[in-house]
Copies of this chain bind each other. A is one copy, B any other.
């Protein structure tokens, strides 16, 4: 069944691959210029949420984990996948608690984004969490060996500058938190 998708036409869609986390669609399309083509669309089954958890002493919680996809140990803000039917904020609170044990009194949405829009319809939300209380993490079997670091917020921004923090969710979260705090007038000047 042919279907208009903006200036594109979708002639056919088949599920090329599917697991519990993603589906990949292989679409037969007609491009905006009228040429026939294929379009592969990666559909994540979960909303990506991340949490910039900022403590009273201006430190931010980072979690370190070996990432299977990259075969690299990376530092990022806590976060994970939340079912699209769930409340994103509750999902973010759950992910923060599972990965770090922390809970927070004050939550604010920092950024809402779409991912690599030439290949995926994936979406994400980053929250700012303040008023932290510590607790015990309870991680799942893929998160064994996860580490936690408290990093001064300014240092975390410098790790973004240098590319040592390269996870794009974490970069946008820290940069958006910096902008938010600066606009509120409560953040330090960049050094």
Contacts and interface: CB of A to CB of B under 8 A. Distances in A.
Interface in A1-58: 5-8, 16-17, 19, 21-22, 24, 26, 29, 31-35, 37-42, 44, 48
Contacts of A26: 17, 19
Interface in A89-117: 111-117
Interface size class of A (residues with CB under 8 A): 35 or more
A68 B6 CA distance: 7
A33 B5 CA distance: 43
A39 to B, nearest CB: 6
Residue of A44, A114, A120 contacting most chain B CB atoms (<10 Å): A114
A69 B190 contact: no
A87 interface: no
A84 interface: no
A33 B142 CA distance: 7
A21 B172 CA distance: 25
Contact of A179 (B68, B76, B118, B190): B190
A39 B22 contact: no
Contacts of A67: 6, 114, 117-118
Contacts of A74: 114, 117
A166 B8 contact: no
Interface of A: 5-8, 16-17, 19, 21-22, 24, 26, 29, 31-35, 37-42, 44, 48, 66-74, 76, 80-81, 111-122, 124, 141-145, 157, 160-161, 163, 166-169, 171-172, 175-176, 178-179, 182-183, 190
